[in-house]
Structure 1
Amino acid sequence: MNRLKKTKSIRLLNFIEEKGNKLPDPVTIFIIFTLLVIGISHVLYILGIGVSFEGVNNESGQIETLTVKSVSLLVPEGIAYMFSNVVKNFTSFVALGPVLVAMLGVGVAEKSGYISALMTNTVTKAPKKFVTPIVVLMGVLSNVAASVGYVVLVPLGAIIFLGFKRHPLAGLSAAFAGVAGGYSANLFLGTNDPLLSGITTEAAHILDAGYIVNPTDNWFFMFVSTFLIVIIGTLVTDKLIEPKLGKYIPDQAIEHQNVVSSVEKKGLLWANISILVTIIAIALLVLPENGVLRGEGGSLIQSPFMSSIIFMMMLIFLIPGVVYGFVTKTIKNDKDIARLMASSLETMSGFIVLIFFAAQFVALFNYTNLGTIIAVKGADFLQSIHLEGAPLLVALIFITTIINLFIAADSAKWAIMAPVFVPMFMQMGIAPEVTQVAYRVGDSSTNIISPLMPFFPLVVAFAQRYGKENGVGTVISLMLPYSIIILISWTIFFVIWYVLGIPVGPGTNLNY
């Protein structure tokens, strides 16, 4: 097997990996940041630091000149706030409920075997010339079900390519590029949408307590971006990665089974029928002008339909998962359904712990007015150097790519970055939804070369099935072309989108 030579870029990334592995756990990072907020708030309080700006008065709803001063967490009122609001900060954190509710359905669909069978059936039926784009596309779509793409589709990509007598590492790379490089792109809403929109909403409340960012507010841009990622992933795989890898000669016979059994096909048929029935039922509640899920005056944007997107997402996964399970006997009774729901939430335990500490940080950050002060001061600085609009958003994209190499969890990064950049960009006239898109472009682009990304070691382990010498450097060197080309192409695409003034989601504006 031809091995890619280590370039200066790879050596740099290996250096970043070595140093990055020494960083504390994201939970510890949030604790450190919280302690810094406590200390900094008291220093600014003593110095009497404050700002004046044009903002929305939360009581009158009118735009007025507002004055905000730093609030200390080390005075009696601040100490009382910290102790008395711990539970409230956690349970009221916008991102917590939507993700857990969605996972009730996604977990059943995943653990019943429905998602795995659906992916396998879709990819293996593809004509040979369409194998690469289908693998990349399924990687992107797998993000609807959170991390299932890393566990199921990345190894499946290698197996599919091997079945077509192509290099398995090329298939692994194509799948990984779709799953991680296109993490934010999708034709549908995923569990990531309510998570990030919830954090963005919390950050926007620093300046405007009534501002809401919906899970659908990036959907237009992410829908179209899916095709961009598929094109890039296909071209890089077929024109760069596979030719460099050369012909694959296995060290030993490797079994590969990528066939869906007759029972699984029957399960898929009935599960897919159940999805169709579910969608029709929802449509009957939404499409008629007097539909019960429409809002005032027949509105779809401000309506019960938009408020119930997460519940509908849960149903669209839960119902076919249950149907598939009963047909294939992976689910035998109601107890099994409850067990699969519970096990899906067990996998979210790390997320729940992280959110507890992230919620405290966000709440204290907001209480001290540090976000407002940084936003106004930062906006004044950016205005003084005449950096605004598209260049400002491009700067955020590249800042995110750098931070992503050290803090891999997208929710952890955004929980830290959103309270600073969302209100800052609002002061510059950029809507929170647009700021969130810029973040997602930067975050996704470097996922595939970040050794600190939670599933990166798993991908390395999959690569070692096709050569014991394959390691971190092998995977990074394979994924580096994807990362660079996705970052440049997606950034240019985003700038064009922004300059043309196209909404990033239904009912959204580019400007605040």
Structure 2
Amino acid sequence: LVGWFLTDKVIEPRLKNTAVNGDPSTLPTLDELQPHERRGLKFAMAAMLLCALGLVLTAYGEHSAWRATDGALTSASAPLMRSIVAIIFVFFLVPGIVYGYAAGTANNHRAIIQGMSKSMSGMGYYIVMAFFCAQFIYAFGQSNLGALMAIKGALALKELALPMGVTLVGIVFLTAFVNLLVGSASAKWALIGAIMVPMLMELGVSPDLTQAAYRVGDSSTNIITPLMPYFPLIVVFCQKYVKESGIGTLVALMLPFSISFLLLWSGFLLAYWALGLPLGIGSSLSFPALS
């Protein structure tokens, strides 16, 4: 409801007078599906289901090549998990090719290559931007400023010895701020969690609740930090519609969402903690966990 209200009452009125000046040929349309397109979609769906069936059948047996040495399918060492990118690629590629042949939009391999090339033609700006963003992120990471801010902030929060509800909100806002400086979620958790988890365990707070507070702060400011890996890609999609779009444009548009969700989710977290509601299956709010 908050997302709808912000979109309908804040963001859309702000963009009301913004001219869409992107290339019309690259913008999506809402035309009715033609018979050949419906036929292509049916065959593409059948192809995707066959791919899924093939994956299930080859992974079902206990001696499947997709499994790890201990027989697990979802462990980090399992070939299935290590091949997830290639599997996703195949699940997009096969239905796409089948659709092209069934719908008559791609009658040979040259048309397929041409379609792939056209899809990637708009990524030039992203590749250039990603190069310079990568240099900045690397240099910033080498400076250890983000790590310094995370550790100093966590230690300061610990020394304040605030009431529990205030401490939880402090973790949320500390994480939201550090998120602007450190792009990797695992790196932030390694820095903040190493201090906050033992500290709050001493106060009777479970690691589950500590990580929930961390997740609220981490997710709220992802869309306004240029250090997020997908930020340049989102800017590129904006430029398909409005050529003048840039980093500042995206941050300004997303800031109302970021602030509102940060406050809303913090309130949700405090309500769960105050009412003693479980955060999830097998989770706890206190340490040691109450049976």
Deviation readout 1:311-363 (Å, 9 max, x if unpaired): 69959998786566445448xxxxxxxxxxxxxxxxxxx9xxx9xx9xxxxxx
Verify the 8 A CA contact 1:275 1:320 in the aligned structure 2.
no
Change (3 A) 1:273 1:425: farther
Verify the 8 A CA contact 2:19 2:242 in the aligned structure 1.
no
Verify the 8 A CA contact 1:408 1:454 in the aligned structure 2.
yes
Task: State the Cα distance separating 1:461 from its structure 2 match.
Answer: 3.0
Counterpart check, 1:411 vs 2:186: yes
Match among 367, 380, 387 for residue 163 of structure 2:
387
Structure with higher RCO (Cα < 8 A, 6+ apart):
1
Match among 402, 426, 440 for residue 177 of structure 2:
402
* Superposed counterparts of 1:92-107, under 5 Å: none
Within 1, Cα distance between the matches of 2:23 and 2:177? Answer: 41
Amino acid across the alignment from 1:509: S
Aligned to 1:244: 14
SS of alignment partner, residue 437 of structure 1? helix
Q: Which runs of 5+ in 1 are unaligned?
A: 1-230, 286-303, 331-349, 358-370
Aligned to 2:48: 271
Deviation readout 1:450-506 (Å, 9 max, x if unpaired): 123232233233323333332222211111111111111111111112222222222
Verify the 8 A CA contact 1:404 1:450 in the aligned structure 2.
yes
Within 2, Cα distance between the matches of 1:511 and 1:443? Answer: 22
Amino acid across the alignment from 2:186: S
Match among 419, 429, 434 for residue 204 of structure 2:
429
Verify the 8 A CA contact 1:463 1:470 in the aligned structure 2.
yes
After TM superposition, the score normalised by the length of structure 1 is 0.36
SS of alignment partner, residue 7 of structure 2? helix
Aligned to 2:24: 254
Task: State the Cα distance separating 1:417 from its structure 2 match.
Answer: 1.5
Tell me the number of residue pairs that the alignment of Structure 1 and Structure 2 aligns. 218
Aligned to 1:158: none
**Mean CA deviation greater in 255-264 or 460-469:** 255-264
Match among 451, 455, 468 for residue 230 of structure 2:
455
RMSD: 4.1
Within 1, Cα distance between the matches of 2:29 and 2:208? Answer: 40
Amino acid across the alignment from 2:48: A
Amino acid across the alignment from 1:271: M
Amino acid across the alignment from 2:239: Q
Within 1, Cα distance between the matches of 2:80 and 2:264? Answer: 30
Within 2, Cα distance between the matches of 1:497 and 1:277? Answer: 43
Deviation readout 1:219-255 (Å, 9 max, x if unpaired): xxxxxxxxxxxx3322211121011211553336522
After TM superposition, the score normalised by the length of structure 2 is 0.59
SS of alignment partner, residue 24 of structure 2? coil
Aligned to 1:446: 221
Within 1, Cα distance between the matches of 2:94 and 2:237? Answer: 31
Task: State the Cα distance separating 1:510 from its structure 2 match.
Answer: 1.3
Amino acid across the alignment from 2:21: D
Percent sequence identity over aligned pairs: 36
Verify the 8 A CA contact 1:278 1:316 in the aligned structure 2.
no
Task: State the Cα distance separating 1:434 from its structure 2 match.
Answer: 1.6
Within 2, Cα distance between the matches of 1:279 and 1:500? Answer: 42
